Structure 1
Amino acid sequence: MRMPTPTRLRTNQNTPQNTRKPLDSRDPFFDNAKFLLIVLVALGHSWEQIVSGTHTLQAVHTVVYAFHMPAFILLCGYFSQRFTGRPDQVRKLIEGVLIPYLLFEAAYSATYSAVRGEPYTFTPTEPTYLCWFLVALFLWRLSTPLWRAVRHPVPIAVVVSLAAGLTTMGYDLALPRVLMFLPWFVLGMNLRPEHFALLRTKAARRCGVVALVCAVVAAYLWMPAPDEHWLSMDVGYTELDISWPQYLAVRVGIFALSAVLVAAFFACVPRRRTPFTALGAATMYPYLLHGLLIRAGEAAGLYPVLKDLGAVGQVLLTLGVVTTVFLLSTPPVRKLFRPLVEPRLPRGAVPVDERSK
């Protein structure tokens, strides 16, 4: 997503004091991480179309889902640390999250209607497909001042997350996901550059690679995969058909496992500029657009053909998705879709307190 980096967080902590980068420079580590995560998001959504019955791909898919959204949400919290609710900040939040949500919620509802023959309904309180993340980001960021005001925010957020799974709330405003993923956002708010610096070493990278490989091997051996709702965080314990003590035990275990995998992922992220670093500043575009292409592939009957090709089809789909994410992040695509992804409110629509600038 397009998340402005707090100025005070941009300094590379591994750089000597007298050679630190200017405060207005971007840290390529975070742009690299954001781009890699959006690639994993797109791959996860695409693999869902062919994953059933594919043992190896299902294992990889499970591991990716165990950490890619927690890591993305953690970065959202990290880059929300300066949000205080000033009018100019709220304006940017409306322009960059709320309005795109409404536009793409309408687009995805229309797409589902066209592809699957479902009646067209536009219900903004019930997010369609990947639009849930925009609702969640809007609510998480609005709650930032609250978490800054309480003591021990991360443990409190964990309690809220676990308690949410013990309820039978509906999916209005994607509240199950908003609350269950909340600890990652709050954790990100409380991280500092020195915490990431611990993961930006050769030793951490070696450990990260080992952890990710071991996770894939374990997922491969642990087949069939667990219910996908455990990692999607969209239902409570009653719908998982287990007792509440079992639910709490598994959720705590998932938190621990995801934390290890999130750390392993960040340890493997390149620290220097790469061919895709610049694209990491505009991940909102591939995030919002790739789902429409997935539904177009569904309408074209693409996925049964790829599935019949076996491993070759999996490789072709993976390469196609990575290429598509690259293309959707490029300046021409961003220029074309900017009115939808980064709309601008007319001046005066949301008053801006000049003193807060």
Structure 2
Amino acid sequence: MTNSLYPHGSRRTPLPPAAVTSLQDTAAPSPASAPAAATPPATGQASARAGAGKPGQRDAFFDNAKYLAIVFVAMGHCWEPLTDGSRSAEALYMFVYTFHMPAFIIISGYFSRSFDMRPDRLRRLITGVAVPYILFEIAYTLFKRTAGGDPDHPFSLLDPWFLTWFLVALFVWRLTTPLWKIIRWPVPVALAVAVLASVSPDIGDDLDLQRVLQFLPFFVLGLFMKPEHFQLVRRREVRILSVPIVAAALVLAYWAAPRMTSAWFYHRDSAQELGAPWWAGVVMTLALLGCSLVLTACFFAWVPRRKMWFTVLGAGTLYGYLLHGFLAKGSRFWGWFDADWVHEPYGQIAVTVIAAAVVTVLCTPPVQRIFRFAMEPKMEWAFKKDATQLARARNRP
């Protein structure tokens, strides 16, 4: 049907307004990056509190959760050299590794719900995930060759080193998002994939596919979570119930510390590669998934809902994640943990505080501005102009 005032299409229908996008960290995009139509409906207070608010407005809860999760990541890395001589450090290490990355990945999935194969989103995936992966893989390789005293350490984009596995995983998970949206039972299928991966030693180390597949259920779960699910775990009774659950988890971790290897929590090896029978992969995958979901819910229950002094740092968590890796590995290369005082209780507390402070600084806006060229490059020169944007520019008065 044509407009009666302008028959035969002599005047074009105005193009829709350009979508306003805001700066986001690739580990967990801000609510502003998702169009309102792609956000699950919520009503009243739940909508205002769970990230379904006005476009361009960040939700303090998710920024707080991302910041606290990255602090736990940094503390876990500083505890790793202490685990050999301290049962308490090993217990805390296993406890934190049960939920810190699952929490991060669930949030990543939650804010990937609107991802499709639209050109602008593919460009953001390349500039915000693929390019940082390449740059940091090069930087980590050079760092290990120089500071690590391994001049023959090979450079390979197929073999992520240390922290860069998460960028590979995020790239793969986001690309498969449209697939999970069309199948009937996405979470059970993702869980089946994780279980099969845990008993498949032939997968190998390329692209850290074991981690990609074994952590997959958390991302898919996040894809199908709604604001009311986060409201549910933030209820007062859940916070109260989480206290004895966390206490019991710490006791269980202290008991398990000398009896099992913490390698199960990395999800980077099959059961056979860990010296266990194949069926142990099935049992451990399901058991760890359950433990991770429970402790992640406890973590979310205690994340502040209001704006805090560290809320602004939630937008820079990927900066802190990747940059603190140089210090985490450098501390081993340079023998910082060889000092006896570090292994004393007061030394372990001091190291923990230092790790939290360092990663906090690395998430700050000044650090983001310095390293934005590597983490969020625009790279407009590398992409073709979008036809819609060109048409909009021509019609702009």
Aligned to 1:332: 366
> What is the percent sequence identity of the aligned residues?
40
Is this contact kept in 2: 1:115–1:295, CA < 8 A?
no
Please state how far the C-alpha of 1:66 moved relative to its aligned partner: 0.8
124 and 84 in structure 1: CA distance in 2 versus 1, 3 angstrom threshold: same
Correspondence list, 1:243-282, <5 A? 243-282=277-316
Cα distance in 1, alignment partners of residues 308 and 48 from structure 2: 25
Cα distance in 2, alignment partners of residues 13 and 277 from structure 1: 24
Please state how far the C-alpha of 1:7 moved relative to its aligned partner: 4.6
- Describe the superposition over 1:280-315 as per-residue Cα deviations: whole angstroms up to 9, x where unpaired: 011111011000012232233211226644111111
Cα distance in 2, alignment partners of residues 350 and 176 from structure 1: 35
- 1:114 paired to 2:146: yes
Is this contact kept in 2: 1:50–1:306, CA < 8 A?
no
Aligned to 2:165: 132
Please state how far the C-alpha of 1:258 moved relative to its aligned partner: 1.1
Aligned to 1:349: 383
Aligned to 1:200: 234
Is this contact kept in 2: 1:59–1:220, CA < 8 A?
yes
Could you state the TM-score of these two structures normalised by the residue count of structure 1?
0.94
Amino acid at match of 2:181: R
Cα distance in 2, alignment partners of residues 53 and 348 from structure 1: 51
Could you state the TM-score of these two structures normalised by the residue count of structure 2?
0.85
Deviates more, 1:114-123 or 1:147-156: 114-123
Please state how far the C-alpha of 1:94 moved relative to its aligned partner: 0.5
206 and 348 in structure 1: CA distance in 2 versus 1, 3 angstrom threshold: same
Cα distance in 1, alignment partners of residues 47 and 210 from structure 2: 44
Aligned structure 1 segments of 4 or more residues deviating by more than 4 angstroms: 9-14, 16-21, 306-309
Aligned to 2:98: 66
Aligned to 2:352: 318
Please state how far the C-alpha of 1:247 moved relative to its aligned partner: 2.4
285 and 306 in structure 1: CA distance in 2 versus 1, 3 angstrom threshold: farther
Aligned to 1:155: 188
- Listed as ranges, the gaps of 5+ residues in structure 2 are 1-26, 393-397
Please state how far the C-alpha of 1:206 moved relative to its aligned partner: 1.4
Amino acid at match of 1:110: L
282 and 167 in structure 1: CA distance in 2 versus 1, 3 angstrom threshold: same
- Describe the superposition over 1:198-225 as per-residue Cα deviations: whole angstroms up to 9, x where unpaired: 0111111112232222211211122315
273 and 308 in structure 1: CA distance in 2 versus 1, 3 angstrom threshold: closer
Cα distance in 2, alignment partners of residues 211 and 256 from structure 1: 13
Cα distance in 2, alignment partners of residues 237 and 34 from structure 1: 30
Cα distance in 2, alignment partners of residues 14 and 322 from structure 1: 36
Is this contact kept in 2: 1:7–1:24, CA < 8 A?
no
Amino acid at match of 2:136: F
Deviates more, 1:203-212 or 1:254-263: 203-212
Q: Which has the higher contact order (CA 8 A, sep 6+)?
A: 1
Please state how far the C-alpha of 1:327 moved relative to its aligned partner: 0.8
Correspondence list, 1:74-89, <5 A? 74-89=106-121
Among 26, 30, 45, the alignment partner of 1:15 is: 45
16 and 144 in structure 1: CA distance in 2 versus 1, 3 angstrom threshold: closer
Cα distance in 1, alignment partners of residues 76 and 66 from structure 2: 15
- 1:220 paired to 2:246: no
- 1:101 paired to 2:127: no
Please state how far the C-alpha of 1:71 moved relative to its aligned partner: 1.1
Please state how far the C-alpha of 1:95 moved relative to its aligned partner: 0.5
- 1:3 paired to 2:35: no
Cα distance in 1, alignment partners of residues 173 and 48 from structure 2: 37
Deviates more, 1:206-215 or 1:83-92: 206-215
Cα distance in 1, alignment partners of residues 153 and 42 from structure 2: 49
Larger CA Rg, structure 1 vs 2: 2
Cα distance in 1, alignment partners of residues 182 and 335 from structure 2: 51
- Describe the superposition over 1:231-256 as per-residue Cα deviations: whole angstroms up to 9, x where unpaired: 11111121122222232122211111
Amino acid at match of 2:192: V
Deviates more, 1:249-258 or 1:62-71: 249-258
Aligned to 2:23: none
- 1:51 paired to 2:119: no
Deviates more, 1:323-332 or 1:91-100: 323-332
Please state how far the C-alpha of 1:353 moved relative to its aligned partner: 4.7
- Listed as ranges, the gaps of 5+ residues in structure 1 are none
Please state how far the C-alpha of 1:187 moved relative to its aligned partner: 0.4
Please state how far the C-alpha of 1:3 moved relative to its aligned partner: 1.3
Amino acid at match of 2:45: T
Is this contact kept in 1: 2:46–2:231, CA < 8 A?
no
Amino acid at match of 2:128: G
**Across the two proteins, how many residue pairs are aligned to each other?**
357
Cα distance in 2, alignment partners of residues 305 and 108 from structure 1: 25
123 and 196 in structure 1: CA distance in 2 versus 1, 3 angstrom threshold: same
Please state how far the C-alpha of 1:351 moved relative to its aligned partner: 4.5
312 and 157 in structure 1: CA distance in 2 versus 1, 3 angstrom threshold: same
Cα distance in 2, alignment partners of residues 238 and 68 from structure 1: 25
